[in-house]
Amino acid sequence: MKFFKLYLLPGFMFQSVVIGGGYATGRELVEFFFAAGPIGGLLGLLVAGVVFGLVCAVGFELARKFKAFDYRHFCKTILGRGWVLFEFFYFFQLLLVLSIIGSASGEIASQNFGVPSLVGTLALLTLVGILTFKGTEVIKKVLAGWSILLYGVYILLFILAFSKFGSVITETYSTADIGEGWLKNGVLYTGYNLASLPLILYAVMAHENRKQTMTAGLICGAITVVPAMLFFTAMMGQYPQIGGEPVPATFLMAAMQVNWLNVIFQIIIFGTFVETGTAMIHAVNERLEGTFAEQGRHLPQIARPVIAIGFLLMAVIAAETFGIISLIANGYGYITVAFIMVLVVPMLTVGVWKIIKKPDSVSA
């Protein structure tokens, strides 16, 4: 149990945020990795795993040394007064991701369960509101538990995809060339998703030394990309036409014609939307709680679900206005570069320097 809490829990927490929205639907993988082809896509994901691991290791150690377990304090450590730049781009990302999961939740409800898309969106609103009301400990258990369950389903999907399309997948890889841009896209993919790192730093509050944080960070990289690699490979059974689908996961399930897996997978995907939306909004609530605490007050408990529902409603309107494919294709490119500049680069420069400079014996 201690091993899981110290070395695996942070990775599952990070994955639970990263895997929602575009990742779980397959749309994000298409946008970042399909252009490099079947082989180049996998190489890009390997690059992403390495970068995730290295940056998470630095981030966990920085949070441990400076006791910076919410995004405001963490970003102040590396950006000083410039920390507000992270918050500005984070709010943009928050609305983008919530728009995607709101739209996809409605599509899953409509296509797979024959109910109006509004039902799926309202279910998402309700569950996120409940979890944000419950608070950190409940959220931590739900995020970790659901991520482990999701792992099992992705492994099952990979196995069944090979049983259905094994010859097609094999031929696709055997005839493919290594495409271009896989290194760049792997780095860009991490730049966008590493914005999730400051949201789950409370997962390393129990860490006591550098060995624990660094090991947890490196494992985090592997935990995050393995399901993506399995999913990406499974999608090669419907390559390249699957790249044009709004929700590639739904298209793949329909092509496999395994109805019971389709139901399970759609429920699992919907759960990832809930945990991603919850984690991202919970980070805002914790940031507000920190500000209230500095003023000798507490954020009212009822404010937590109200804030969650407010953000989700704004995001759903954006999704209906612009569409899921347009949101991912146009929104990700801009915000990726922004997070590399305001988070990743400062972490790997100022952050590393502060880790080296500050001995463990000095209190934060």
Output the CA angle 115-120-122, nearest 5 degrees. Answer: 120
Sort residue 70 into left (φ over 0), alpha (ψ -120 to 50) or beta: beta
- pLDDT tens track, the chain, 364 positions: 789 989 999 999 898 888 765 677 788 899 889 989 999 999 999 999 999 999 999 999 999 999 998 888 999 999 998 999 998 888 888 877 787 777 778 777 887 777 888 888 788 888 888 888 887 788 888 888 888 888 888 899 899 999 999 999 999 999 988 888 999 999 988 887 888 899 889 889 999 999 999 999 999 999 999 999 999 999 999 998 998 887 788 788 888 887 787 788 888 888 888 888 888 888 888 888 877 777 778 778 788 788 878 887 777 776 666 655 555 556 566 777 888 899 999 999 999 999 998 877 544 4
Burial, 255: exposed, middle or buried (Cβ in 10 Å; 0-12, 13-18, 19+)? middle
Identify whether 225 is part of a domain.
yes
- CA-closest candidate to residue 76, choices 62, 95, 92: 62
Distance CA 80, CA 227 (A): 36
Name the CA dihedral angle for 183, 187, 192, 193, rounded to a multiple of 10 degrees.
100
C-beta of residue 279 within 8 angstroms of C-beta of residue 127: no
Confidence (pLDDT) at 209? 93
C-beta of residue 21 within 8 angstroms of C-beta of residue 195: no
Confidence (pLDDT) at 329? 55
Identify whether 184 is part of a domain.
yes
User: What is the CATH number for 56?
Assistant: 1.20.1740.10
Identify whether 210 is part of a domain.
yes
Confidence (pLDDT) at 327? 56
For 104, what's the count of Cα atoms within 13 Å in the CB-facing half-sphere?
Answer: 37
Identify whether 3 is part of a domain.
no
Domain that holds residue 68: 10-357
Identify whether 351 is part of a domain.
yes
Confidence (pLDDT) at 109? 81
Identify whether 226 is part of a domain.
yes
Residue type, position 215, single letter:
T
Identify whether 364 is part of a domain.
no
Confidence (pLDDT) at 363? 41
Q: What's the domain count of the chain?
A: 1
Confidence (pLDDT) at 294? 76
C-beta of residue 180 within 8 angstroms of C-beta of residue 44: no
Confidence (pLDDT) at 231? 93
End-to-end C-alpha distance for the chain, whole angstroms: 28
| pTM for this entry | 0.85
Confidence (pLDDT) at 182? 94
Confidence (pLDDT) at 352? 94
Identify whether 2 is part of a domain.
no
